[in-house]
Copies of this chain bind each other. A is one copy, B any other.
Amino acid sequence: MSLKYAMLGFVDMQPMSGYDLKTLFNGSVSYFWAATHSQIYRTLNKMHEEGLVDVEVIIQEDLPNRKVYHITENGKVSLVKWVKSDVELSPIKNRILVQLSWADCLETDEIISLLDQYLIILKNRLTIYHHRMAHKEIFDQGRSEREIILWKGTLQNGILTYEAEARWAEELKAELEAYERKKLE
């Protein structure tokens, strides 16, 4: 459901093709919503059927045709309505929590190595996000000062989320190490 409106918001900013959306969802937006191109093309068709967007086919020489989508009046109304709609908490689905729940069959150092793997992934992700936050051009598309505050806020959410995860992993590692030391006494 959110994907449809994430896409509609971009089309509202500027008419664009499925390919453009795919590029956005692989890049700068991937920290708050991910989507494959299959999903994007199917969702665009559905949005067209629902009258949220119009299509303009642009014939290009030497390159494949582009189908450029434009938001309709209907689409604008529907977007504003959705943005105002109730906030929901998406369920946590975190694979490492399931792994840790049943990890008592592993050696403590194997468990710690799972946490280390997780920390590496988190730190890589954080580097990317910090980099993005520092590069102010990304926010140039913003249509108002307030919109830029909101966009920086969403990026900041990703940073704080992963920083919290990393602190948690370090804490749990420390606890497991303390447990091992205690056992050796």
- Using CB atoms and an 8 Å cutoff, list the residues of chain A in contact with chain B: 2, 5-6, 8-9, 12, 30-34, 79-80, 82-106, 108, 110-111, 114, 117-118, 121-122, 125, 143-147, 149-151, 153-154, 156-158, 160-161, 163-165, 167-168, 171-172, 175-176, 179
Q: Are A83 and B105 neighbours in the complex by a CB distance under 8 Å?
A: yes
Contact indicator A175/B160 (Cβ below 8 Å): no
Across the two chains, which residue of chain B brings its CB closest to A114?
B87
Q: Check if A91 sits within 8 Å of B30, measured CB to CB.
A: yes
Contacts of A8 in B (CB 8 A): 102
Closest to A96 in B: B87
B5 contacts A102, CB within 8 Å? yes
Select A150's contact among B82, B103, B149, beta carbons within 8 Å: B103
Please determine whether B164 and A160 come into contact, CB atoms closer than 8 angstroms.
Answer: yes
What's the least CB distance linking A81 to chain B, in Å? Answer: 10
Alpha-carbon distance A50/B126, docked complex (angstroms): 39
Q: When A101-B9, A102-B9, A104-B144 are in contact, do A2 and B90 touch as well, CB less than 8 Å?
A: no
One of B90, B95, B110, B125 near A95 (C-beta < 8 A): B90
Q: How far is the CB of A166 from chain B (nearest CB, A)?
A: 10
| A92 and B122 form a contact (CB under 8 A) | no
Q: In the complex the two chains form, is A98's CB within 8 Å of B32's CB?
A: yes
| Cβ–Cβ contact B157 & A32, under 8 A | no
A100 adjacent to B33 (CB under 8 Å): no
List the 7 closest pairs (A to B, CB-CB), nearest first.
Answer: A164-B164, A9-B102, A32-B97, A104-B147, A34-B91, A153-B172, A87-B117
